[in-house]
Structure 1
């Protein structure tokens, strides 16, 4: 018995429609959605080299979030500006790096830590202020200290807000990697949160202390000769277009010579002697923020001054920036001298505080191998 004949392919004669054929897909495990591919079973990323043996959560959620043509965008930046190059040009700072992606924030700041850390600080500040009201802590303030706080701590609020809003907010957009953006952005958030803490504290004192003038800080910031050097210094920092110079001049020079001088070497030293145990807890949170911000700044600068290709040129440039900004901050610090004599109780002479601030800056510069300006010896 012969086998049945194979069915003839449908040529479309029965329906009058041509029959089309399509190639069958061939999966190579290279396309998106492939069931099995290299590292498909891994729970960690492998497109970057972690700082240690294993990547941290900070690295996983931060590294390469902002693409870079030098690493992944083979077609170049996918967006640009009408009057300039695309993306994040590296010539937005005169400092150079063989690889900006080597930077790692020692604080390992990412979205979760930003909210958690700042929420903890705000919660602590609010609890301290609430407890101060309940215990009538402000009743022990001397009249001269009340005047000192309303004028000078209020004026410092403007410096913090100006730096946060107009220096670090701009710098974080200009930095060439997401790792840098995150660290500088957190720096901005620290400054603005501390300025807001000071503003709320000012309102609290206005409602609690009889005769406390909660509006005088505006006139002090604009017109008091003692504060005009600080104001000029801050405004010049906000006008600096080189993002790395702005960060260096603020976190290394201004903060060491003026910020630490006022916050730590004056307010936190003499507040308790004038019956005030509340203000140091508030100002201490700002000082803690600065210590974290100084940490990432030193890490960044250490990377740049030790760069095999550009290290020497970077050190020379940072030395020139020091010569430019140190005289401004020294002048601002010296003009603050009269406020050392305003509180009734004081035990730290201005010159001692000033020398300590200069020594702190000198230590930072020497650690980073940056030439120390002769102005510090004056």
Structure 2
């Protein structure tokens, strides 16, 4: 009988497997330098998740698009950075924070709406205020959904690091959740004893003259190809001059004077979302305008974007002015609300070292 033989396994001492590294016995990540003494959970689960040939892919991109460069090309924005990986989200958003923060907000809103129905809180509303909520707060739902679904959602694939894309993805989730909150509120009011037309918001958004510049502003934002321009035009320009103007400097100011203590809890959650989203946006663009190599060029690009987008948002804001006169009890005027919005906008521009657009003083 012929004796069969089999090849014997040969262990060759592969370089990486046998070498001893400074962190060989550590169970913590050590392929990046944390901001503090120890890495946070946010850094552990976010840093370098997105590939980058300038850091760890020594063989270059391992995949690419058929008509262009691979992965996440830096050419997808006109802005430049000496090191895109310097940006870390000051909110430190990661999976757990997304679920925790949003579940807390949804729980709070659900309890408020349930208690409002039990207490008959809507019965204190005047017909004029009911009409305002029915038409104008309902129309705002479309603006929030448009930004979440067609602006931020498309941006979050394009930035060159996971830290930036993560923050933008959370921004998208905020907008979509807030739009859903407004839709559910509209449904609640439709089922109440109020004379409330739950379908009026659609016609207002599509054809009401005062809302068409806002609608145009949102739709034009969806067509921007440069992800950083899209983020800047949405969070720095539109949200400051139109979003905060309507949410914070109108609805939040006048609701209680009209016997409505329910709507501010809902809109206040949306404002809290924007506070968090503005925080990461300011940190990102401050990093870019302060870049030692590219800062001056970046400021020139951003000033160009201001020239393009501020007139669009100024027109949208001023065309909303007639709705201030439709509120029965209005403790603020449009001039008061506009002043508050522009002052906040100026503070952001000053922090970033950008020029004040002439349209703000006209």
Q: Smaller-chain TM-score range?
A: over 0.9
1:1-378 paired onto structure 2 within 5 Å: 16-17=2-3, 22=8, 25=11, 27=13, 30-31=16-17, 38-378=22-362
Whether the 8 Å CA contact 2:48–2:162 is kept in 1: the answer is: yes
Aligned mates of 2:159, 2:146 — CA distance in 1 = 19
**Structure 2: 5+ residue stretches without partners:** none
How far residue 313 of structure 1 moved from its aligned partner, in angstroms, is 0.2
How far residue 18 of structure 1 moved from its aligned partner, in angstroms, is 8.0
The verdict on how the C-alpha distance between 1:20 and 1:154 changes in structure 2, with shifts beyond 3 A counting, is: closer
The verdict on how the C-alpha distance between 1:129 and 1:222 changes in structure 2, with shifts beyond 3 A counting, is: same
Whether the 8 Å CA contact 1:66–1:178 is kept in 2: the answer is: yes
Structure 1 residue ranges (4+ consecutive) displaced by more than 6 angstroms after TM superposition? 18-21
How far residue 40 of structure 1 moved from its aligned partner, in angstroms, is 3.0
Aligned mates of 1:151, 1:75 — CA distance in 2 = 57
Aligned mates of 1:35, 1:322 — CA distance in 2 = 53
How far residue 363 of structure 1 moved from its aligned partner, in angstroms, is 0.9
How many residues end up aligned between the 2 structures? 362
Whether the 8 Å CA contact 1:29–1:36 is kept in 2: the answer is: no
How far residue 30 of structure 1 moved from its aligned partner, in angstroms, is 2.9
Whether the 8 Å CA contact 1:202–1:214 is kept in 2: the answer is: yes
**TM-score, structure 1 as length reference:** 0.93
Whether the 8 Å CA contact 1:29–1:37 is kept in 2: the answer is: no
Larger CA deviation: 104-113 vs 355-364: 355-364
Aligned mates of 2:100, 2:173 — CA distance in 1 = 13
Where 1:203 maps in the other structure, the secondary structure is: helix
How far residue 81 of structure 1 moved from its aligned partner, in angstroms, is 1.3
Whether the 8 Å CA contact 1:30–1:37 is kept in 2: the answer is: no
Aligned mates of 1:85, 1:36 — CA distance in 2 = 36
The verdict on how the C-alpha distance between 1:23 and 1:259 changes in structure 2, with shifts beyond 3 A counting, is: closer
Residue in 2 that maps onto 1:5: none
How far residue 341 of structure 1 moved from its aligned partner, in angstroms, is 0.8
How far residue 251 of structure 1 moved from its aligned partner, in angstroms, is 0.5
Whether the 8 Å CA contact 2:122–2:194 is kept in 1: the answer is: no
How far residue 205 of structure 1 moved from its aligned partner, in angstroms, is 0.3
* Rg (Cα) greater in structure: 1
RMSD: 1.6
**TM-score, structure 2 as length reference:** 0.97
The verdict on how the C-alpha distance between 1:207 and 1:90 changes in structure 2, with shifts beyond 3 A counting, is: same
Q: Deviations over 1:81-127 (max 9, x none)?
A: 12221101111100000111110000000011111111111111100
